[in-house]
Amino acid sequence: MASSFSVDTSGASEKIKAIRTKLSDGIGKVLEQELTNARAEIIARTQSGLDVDNKPFVKYSKYYAFKKFFKTEGVKGKRRKNKVKDSYRAYGGTKAAPAITPNLTLRGTMLRSLKVKVTKIAGGFLGKIYVNGAQADKVRGNQKLRKFFDLSKEQYDKIERKITEAINGRR
């Protein structure tokens, strides 16, 4: 005697699609969160005066050191500009510039311009940390002498590990 049975699979493809979408969205959120963390680490590392390899930045030029010194001392406007020029001329290479640790922050606009974006593309996601607007030239100029706008190997490894955990269902 032969038996037969059937299984109703009419809603299976929609359920599988929903699971894929949920998994996919979850990976996109993990990527966005990890890039946001990496952005914060880049800013903190830069403000500490360290490059992507955790080496101290090259010192500021004397003129810029004076400019930053008077900016941080609260001297404002034209008075600050004149004071910087006068001090720089007075010291004219004979006296050391103020001891200021380079941290690429005068007003903070360059580091605040770092943004995170995650875009869904065919087969996955594209995540990036980028520079917003007019600060791009400033970043390029600073990057030549002080390599700060990059992820360290440890940051890349951490992002890869977190995404792998999300794919494997471990959060």
Residue-wise pLDDT tens digits, 144-164: 888 888 889 999 999 989 988
Residue-wise pLDDT tens digits, 22-36: 556 788 888 999 999
**Per-residue pLDDT averaged across 34-62, rounded?**
90
Percent of the chain with pLDDT over 70: 66
- The mean pLDDT of the chain is 75
Confidence of residue 166 (pLDDT cuts 50, 70, 90): confident
Residue 92 structure tokens: 């004219």
Confidence of residue 84 (pLDDT cuts 50, 70, 90): low
Tell me the C-alpha to C-alpha distance, in Å, between residue 29 and each of 65, 74, 119.
41, 42, 11
Q: Within 10 Å of residue 94's Cβ, how many Cβ atoms? A: 6
d(CA 35, CA 32): 5
Percent of the chain with pLDDT over 90: 18
Residue partners of 27: CB distance under 8 A and separation at least 6:
124, 125, 163, 166, 167
**Per-residue pLDDT averaged across 125-129, rounded?**
89
Q: How many CA atoms lie within 13 A of 159 on its CB side?
A: 22
Q: Which position has the higher pLDDT, 21 or 34?
A: 34
Q: Residue 73, SS3?
A: coil
Residue 87 structure tokens: 């001090």
Nearest to 40 by CA among 158, 123, 122, 119: 158
Q: How many residues does the chain have?
A: 171
Q: Residue 170, SS3?
A: coil
H or E segment and range at residue 123: none
Burial class of 46 by CB neighbour count within 10 A (0 to 12, 13 to 18, 19+)? buried
Is pLDDT of 134 > 80? yes
